[in-house]
Amino acid sequence: MSDGESHPILRRAEATPGLLPALRQLLRERREATVAAMLVLVFVLLSFGSPFFLTERNLFNVARQLSVVAIVALGQALVIIAGGIDLSVGSVIGLSAVAAAMAANATNSPAVGIVAALAVGGLTGVVNGTLITRARINPFITTLGTLSVVRGAALLVTNGSPQRFDNWAAFLGGGRIANVPVQFILLVLLAALIWIFAVRTRWGRDVYAVGDNARAARLAGLDVKFTRTMVFTISGLLAGLGGLLLAGMLSNANPNLGLGYELDVIAAVILGGVALTGGRGSIGGVVIGAALMGLLRNAFVLLNVSGYWQTITIGLVVIVAVGADSFNRKAEED
Amino acid sequence: MSQAPSGAPSYGAPVLSVHDVRKGFDGAPVLHGIDLDVPAGQILALVGENGAGKSTLLNIVSGALQADGGVIALDGIVRHWAGPRDALQAGIALVHQELSIIRSLSVAENVLLGDYCAGPRGFVDRPAMRARARALLDEVGAHHVRPETRADRLSTADQQLVEIAKALTRDLRVLIMDEPTSSLTPHEAEALFVVMRRLAARGVCVLFISHRFDEVFRVADRIVVLRDGRLVGDRPAAGTTRDAAIADMTGRAFSFSRRVARPARREESVLSVRNLCDRHWLGPVDFDLRAGEILGVFGLVGAGRSELLELLGGLRQPGGGAVRLFDGGGLPATPAHAWARGVAILPEDRKAAGIAPNLSVHENMLLSWRRTAPGWINPARERGVVAPLMRRLAVRARGPAQLVRTLSGGNQQKAILGRCLAAAPRLLLLDEPTRGVDIGTKAEIYDHIAALANEGMAVIFASSELPEVLALATTVMVLARGQQRLCAPNEGLDEASVLSAAFSFEANGA
């Protein structure tokens, strides 16, 4: 009669408290665990493999190089957890970089440049979200469209030529505080902020519910359209910041800045254990995923291996990490 | 034990024999030993209430499900199907309620699926395909369907004919149809009956499930009634009356007959509905609901039960009528408004619209409660909401952190009921609250609903299970094809009168 009797699995679980839940917990977070292990492994191997690796200079360089991808990946993670995808981030980096430079140069006020970069990013996000929720165009198609439109706009306004960006706002991208790159400090702060947002606020939890089952979320009274628009806006804002940081780092805003970045960003998110089907993933995992990609890049430079191998390896790592996860999940469900 | 079928008639040598077939799901028996012989050329209608085991039986015969015991024989030879493919090879075809046509392929490709008249080099011979498909379509009377047409351009009725034509590519012995006319117009249904008779004349056994007695009597040779997994009636269609068949269907010994305590009725009106219609075919519907009342909405498949609840929950646009909710306002415009105003919704399709499977019990239960909580999450406060609810509803989980998809169906349903209760609604809308729930948990859910009503909540629940409606409701509403046929206090109603109302569209010649 009672449910406990008719479900032996449940009973077994109750009989051995702690063990099975712990095992399941591990299985569920296996992809992050796998990637974290890979990160440690690459770190240790590099420590032995190259005398330059463990120098402060090199480590901070790695930190600086991975920061923009990781910052943009934070927003992308929210989009993917909500069941969407944002292909436009690379183009937003380009347009916001030139917008920052042109606005700062025209007004002689770097602050206006910062606002312009964030406004371009946020606005693109709002447009993406609106097209997806109101016009009901699928996120892939919508952001594929804005990817092209936004890149075209960047080329159009600059007539294809790079813009000077060497005011104090460039400090955000190129500066250091006590030798630590400002970009990296921003990444740490933003990761903490987004993490708290995701686990400790209603809006963050709604992102997970919408991504896991949008219909159920709507029937439970959630504003699904708002949640979706919100995550695309956050993604756009962070991509706008990414453009600002890259321009600052290079003292120069090229309209082709961020070309192809969307793939690195999405790879970092997936590597970090976020499910493309939505509803699952953690912000910590995304940072680990981005860190692993940064470390691999560094490894190829230090070990003097052709950059082409780098591209191949990163692709393989994504496939292996995601493959291992779906293999585990299948084993769990059987 | 097993009641003797009333006057089981004898027919010729059986083509299909079912002997002592038993089946259970999750330990709950669904079929208790069914015996049935079907001779060549017979059209057999299988009738019974929802959950009687009709679909289960036909799924076993067609290889989609494996029986726990018993045998199936074709032409006197005992056969085992590993899957529907085996059964199809042997000549048993099932046409599902939801058609399994491939919409982007042509009619010919659908009819000859997997057998494209390929030549020796493996190239598809299109003219040969078209010719063969044409011949098969003609056999089922689909003269107007062209083999080149894309399948998704066809009407439902024509798609169904394509599926039957597909079955004819093999040497068809037994054709099984699960509610074949549920989405057909009367005219299309009539055409289908012609095809059924033609196949029967060729010696094919035709078995079909139907809830519509008019068509059962028009087309079937024999009517077999299932109730609670037992074969309780077996009559030739000629000489049988509708009332006799309904008596077979309902003659059950109640497992939960009106045992639920009647909640004390209160005076505050919670909902008043006048002439409510949707924009298609539902309505007009009229009723009043007070605090502490439980309105049970009963109807057959496609009667409009879910649609009515969707209207009240803001999921469907109204087409007319007046509604006054307890707060003085009209219908909620969206589910979000419904929850915000104190109307909680438990959807029918738990998997597609109820649970967030990869989230925890905790998260699932708080989904709606969080609408009115501060945006900043206070874990201690949340635990204080979830823990008492899990205790009250006796949710069997390792803890609030367990993922909902790893719970049993009954416990998933309790988690969603918990989501409703956490929001402390004044009106609770439950669509099939016990679907896919084991019998023990069903009883628990009934107790919870009754207790909630006793505490002053108003409840509307839709159900296709009549005993459940009669056991739980204070007021019973019957819908039939979107029309309100009955809305009366439960006292004084019996199964036969409610079923009669549910079938009453036939009397109006619909």
Chain A residues within 8 A (CB-CB) of chain B?
1-4, 6-7, 10, 13-14, 17, 20-21, 28, 199-203, 205-206, 208-209, 212-213, 215-223, 275, 279-280
- Above 80 in pLDDT, residue B318? yes
CB environment B172-188: b (16+ within 10 A), e (fewer): bbbbbbbbbbbbbeeeb
Say if the Cβ atoms of B408 and A208 lie within 8 Å: no
In whole angstroms, how large is the CA radius of gyration of chain B? 25
**pTM: predicted TM-score of the whole model, two decimal places:** 0.78
Residues 6+ apart with CB under 8 A from B238: none
Q: What is the pLDDT of residue B460?
A: 97
Say if the Cβ atoms of A280 and B370 lie within 8 Å: no
- Does some domain include residue A123? yes
State the CATH number of the domain containing residue A105: 1.10.3470
CA distance, residue B317 to nearest chain A CA (Å): 15
Average pLDDT, integer, range A204-217: 96
Say if the Cβ atoms of B375 and A202 lie within 8 Å: yes
Of the candidates A93, A67, A92, which has an alpha carbon nearest to the alpha carbon of residue A243? A93
What letter represents residue B62's amino acid? S
Residue B508 banded pLDDT, cuts 50, 70, 90: very low
Q: What is the pLDDT of residue A31?
A: 65
B377 CB within 8 Å of a chain A CB? yes
CA distance, residue A314 to nearest chain B CA (Å): 28
Q: What is the pLDDT of residue B262?
A: 61
The B residues from 197 to 216 touching A (CB cutoff 8 Å) are none
The answer to whether A272 and A73 are in contact (CB under 8 A) is: yes
- Does some domain include residue A258? yes
Nearest CB partner across the interface for A279, out of B313, B358, B419: B358
Strand partners, B377: none
Average pLDDT, integer, range A226-234: 98
Chain B hits for A2, Cβ within 8 Å: 440
Neighbours of B117 (CB within 10 A): 17
| Domain count within chain A | 1
Q: What is the pLDDT of residue B240?
A: 82
Average pLDDT, integer, range B370-397: 94
Chain A hits for B352, Cβ within 8 Å: 213, 215-216
CA distance, residue B60 to nearest chain A CA (Å): 23
Structure-model confidence comparison of residues A27 and B161, the more confident one: B161
The answer to whether A255 and A249 are in contact (CB under 8 A) is: no
Of the candidates A281, A271, A280, which has an alpha carbon nearest to the alpha carbon of residue A323? A271
- Does some domain include residue A80? yes
- Above 80 in pLDDT, residue A2? no
Of the candidates B107, B118, B212, which has an alpha carbon nearest to the alpha carbon of residue B151? B107
Q: Which site among A1, A3, A24 would you substitute to test the B interface, given the most B Cβ atoms closer than 10 Å to its Cβ?
A: A3
- Does some domain include residue A250? yes
Write the pLDDT tens digit of every residue in B230-269: 898 898 988 888 778 777 877 644 344 454 556 566 778 9
Chain A hits for B340, Cβ within 8 Å: 221
CA distance, residue A228 to nearest chain B CA (Å): 16
- Above 70 in pLDDT, residue A5? no
Structure-model confidence comparison of residues A260 and B26, the more confident one: A260
Say if the Cβ atoms of A201 and B376 lie within 8 Å: yes
As for the ipTM of the complex, it is: 0.85
- Above 90 in pLDDT, residue A135? yes
CA distance, residue B271 to nearest chain A CA (Å): 20
Q: What is the pLDDT of residue A20?
A: 65
Say if the Cβ atoms of A209 and B408 lie within 8 Å: no
- Euclidean distance between CA atoms B40 and B468, whole angstroms: 39
Of the candidates B234, B202, B232, B230, which has an alpha carbon nearest to the alpha carbon of residue B221? B234
Say if the Cβ atoms of A213 and B355 lie within 8 Å: yes
Domain that holds residue A292: 55-321
- Does some domain include residue A169? yes
A103 to each of A50, A235, A301, B135, B182, how far by Cα in Å? 43, 22, 36, 73, 65
Q: Show the 3-state SS of B149-190.
A: CEHHHCCHHHHHHHHHHHHHCCCCCEEEEECCCCCCCHHHHH
Strands B28-39 and B14-25, bridge-based pairing: antiparallel
- Which phi and psi angles does B25 have, rounded to 5°? -120, 130
The B residues from 408 to 447 touching A (CB cutoff 8 Å) are 408, 410-411, 419, 423, 438-441
- Does some domain include residue A226? yes
- Does some domain include residue A283? yes
Return mean pLDDT, chain B.
86
Residue B354 is classified by DSSP as I
- Does some domain include residue A17? no
Token pair of B213, please? 């007695």
